[in-house]
């Protein structure tokens, strides 16, 4: 994932099998395209213990008036929506 992201992007594990990728100064569509790229890239990498891995992404753009918790909740809701759509999807968050 590091090879597909910028030095200014922040990738971190948020717990369990969930990760967050913060992409400063990035438009929603560009972030969606990056998520699609990362999703496709991950599906090509074999993992020794489990085989093929899929990724579901929830993509949100921070709205200046909202709290950080609300922002994360929107992204999280979109991610669970992507999982419910059959997994291995990218879902944009509602505004």
Active centre residues (catalytic)? 17
Question: Does residue 23 contact residue 6 with C-beta atoms inside 8 Å?
Answer: yes
| Dihedral of alpha carbons 16, 95, 30, 22, sign | negative
Cα separation, 90 vs 3, whole angstroms: 20
């Amino acid at each position: 994932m590091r090879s597909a992201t910028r030095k200014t992007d922040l990738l971190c594990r948020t717990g369990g099998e969930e990760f967050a990728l913060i992409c400063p100064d990035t438009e929603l569509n560009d972030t969606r395209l990056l998520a699609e790229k990362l999703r496709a890239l991950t599906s090509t990498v074999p993992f020794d213990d489990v085989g093929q891995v899929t990724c579901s992404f929830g993509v949100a753009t921070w709205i200046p008036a909202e709290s950080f918790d609300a922002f994360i909740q929107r992204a999280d809701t979109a991610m669970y929506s992507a999982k419910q759509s059959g997994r291995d999807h990218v879902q944009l968050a509602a505004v």
